[in-house]
Structure 1
Amino acid sequence: MNKSLIALPFLALSLIAAKAPPEPAKAPISINAPAEVAADPANRWTLDLSNGSRVVVQLRPDIAPQHVYRIQQLTSQGFYNGIAFHRVIPGFMAQGGDPKGTGEGGSSLPDLAAEFNELPHLRGVASMARAQEPNSANSQFFIVLSPTMKLDRKYTAFGRVIEGMAGVDGIAVGEPPAEPTKIVKASIGGPLPPPPAAVAAPAVVAAQEAVPVDPSAQEASPAE
């Protein structure tokens, strides 16, 4: 945001400063772990990887409640345990969450209605993969390796890595990798919370055949 500065004579500025009460300090703003979600340990998503690293994601139910609950729900069922990162592009993203390991699989739960939001796709942001249909996210997710703003408001960002980003950088690369890195165990930091208020969602699980690709290769749409 651009800010305009008004030049005042030194004396006038001193008088104004003397009369004006000090402004209260503003609380810092963080997109990583806002206080309203950090208080609930269930909003910490931990991934223990086969490369020996532990990755902790701060979930954001305040901006993507249905997607966060899906992650929590599948994690509590053990869905992600043993699943590989099947598509990892250096400098772009690491994608996992597909039990088939082909990019076309998902869970038995219905697809989710999109919850596109203001969280930018910066390094470390966790977001849901989907097919070309906006309302087709199911279980697959990706972690951004480098800022990729072209994905903003096109994919539902649901959290950000707050610990273990070096482990994400160490995930084996490839489409698929020759020896993929797997999620040994996924866990949340507390009991499964109650589901959020229901919203309209697709009734059929869509195969996630089209997921984010390198935006430098396709300018028009990262989903094609």
Structure 2
Amino acid sequence: MTLKALAGMAMLAASLACAGGAAAQEAWRDVAPENIWVLDTSKGRVIVALAPEVAPRHVERIRTLTARGFYDGLGFHRVIPGFMAQGGDPEGTGAGGSDLPDVPGEFTFRRGREAGFTPLEVRPGQPLSGIVGLMPVVTQPDAQMMVTADFRVPATARFCPGVLGMARSNAPDSANSQFFLMTAANPGLDGDYTALGRVVQGLDVVSAFKPGDPAQDGAVTADPDRIVRARMASDMPAAERPSVRIPAPGAPALVAATAAARDVCNVVVPVEVAGGAQ
């Protein structure tokens, strides 16, 4: 083999190595710091990745109230094991809120190609489901985008374990400051409540919160677990700021996770969380 041929092979190998490295980088993407919600609680740290592509107005409300320090010191007044933990009420009764106007419901969203979508295998008699970012959703196929005016299709987030939802009264557009973190799947909430993010670290912390339900007994939960401090990662000093990486749409790790699940709530999305020790 000539020196010229060897040099050519070396250049090809280097090119392939670079391509492989680029592909590895493209397989993961960073969650923007302004979409990382850090809750330091009396039981430990909970980190939530917010999903503005699913519920932009509700995500903005969380950011606004967090910047005000509104959530600092508030208790998880309603905690039902095997269901969810609810907080964000300054009265601790389930009836309180902020001085801001209520937020109209965002129970569905319009999914475009830019959001990315990794589907589960389509099964007869079942709707198309899959993952957008970290969010489990049911939706229509991408092919339907070609016949819609905005080149998007409707999608609804599923209330699976770890999903962050916004609490409300019986009025659909009454969400304000209260939120809940799911510890189990509950399809009865799908399409009726706004989902706006998902826990990426600390779901075990949420599951350990003290049970209580003032809606059932009419009494304020005594000595509930509390949010000591709530911050957006973007407002934290760089040395304290956690980083979160999630698989890009169609990444091998995400495709493998969806292929192994029969229900989108059973998909374990791989997540990398680094830094920001409490």
TM-score, with structure 2 as normaliser = 0.54
Matched, 1:76 2:67: yes
Return the alpha-carbon distance in structure 2 between the equivalents of residues 87 and 191 of structure 1: 28
Q: Runs in 1 of length 4+ with deviation above 2 angstroms?
A: 176-179
Return the alpha-carbon distance in structure 1 between the equivalents of residues 213 and 188 of structure 2: 21
- Superposed displacement of residue 40, structure 1: 1.5
Q: Partner of 2:181: helix, strand, or coil? A: strand
Return the alpha-carbon distance in structure 2 between the equivalents of residues 148 and 101 of structure 1: 24
- Superposed displacement of residue 39, structure 1: 3.8
The match for 2:76 among 85, 94, 110 is 85
The match for 1:178 among 222, 225, 234 is 222
Return the alpha-carbon distance in structure 1 between the equivalents of residues 223 and 67 of structure 2: 26
User: Contact 2:209–2:225 at 8 Å: present in 1 too?
Assistant: yes
Match of 1:218 in 2: none
Q: How many residues align?
A: 157
Match of 2:89 in 1: 98
CA RMSD, Structure 1 to Structure 2 (Å): 1.7
The match for 1:47 among 29, 39, 64 is 39
- Superposed displacement of residue 179, structure 1: 2.2
Matched, 1:190 2:182: no
Return the alpha-carbon distance in structure 2 between the equivalents of residues 150 and 87 of structure 1: 18
The structure where strand makes up a greater share of residues is 2
Q: Partner of 1:174: helix, strand, or coil? A: coil
Match of 1:123 in 2: 161
Return the alpha-carbon distance in structure 1 between the equivalents of residues 31 and 89 of structure 2: 30
What are the superposed Cα offsets for residues 79-109 of structure 1, whole Å, 9 maximum, x if unpaired? 0000000011111110000000010100000
Return the alpha-carbon distance in structure 2 between the equivalents of residues 39 and 145 of structure 1: 22
What 5-or-longer segments of structure 1 have no aligned partner?
Answer: 1-26, 28-33, 193-224
Return the alpha-carbon distance in structure 2 between the equivalents of residues 161 and 39 of structure 1: 13
Matched, 1:137 2:175: yes
- Superposed displacement of residue 145, structure 1: 1.0
Match of 2:58 in 1: 67
Match of 2:197 in 1: 159
User: Contact 2:103–2:174 at 8 Å: present in 1 too?
Assistant: yes
Return the alpha-carbon distance in structure 2 between the equivalents of residues 39 and 170 of structure 1: 26
Percent of residue pairs bearing the same amino acid type: 51
The match for 2:98 among 107, 113, 137 is 107
What 5-or-longer segments of structure 2 have no aligned partner?
Answer: 1-22, 109-155, 215-220, 237-278
**Amino acid in the other structure paired with 1:46:** V
- Superposed displacement of residue 178, structure 1: 2.9
- Superposed displacement of residue 119, structure 1: 1.6
User: Contact 2:168–2:176 at 8 Å: present in 1 too?
Assistant: yes
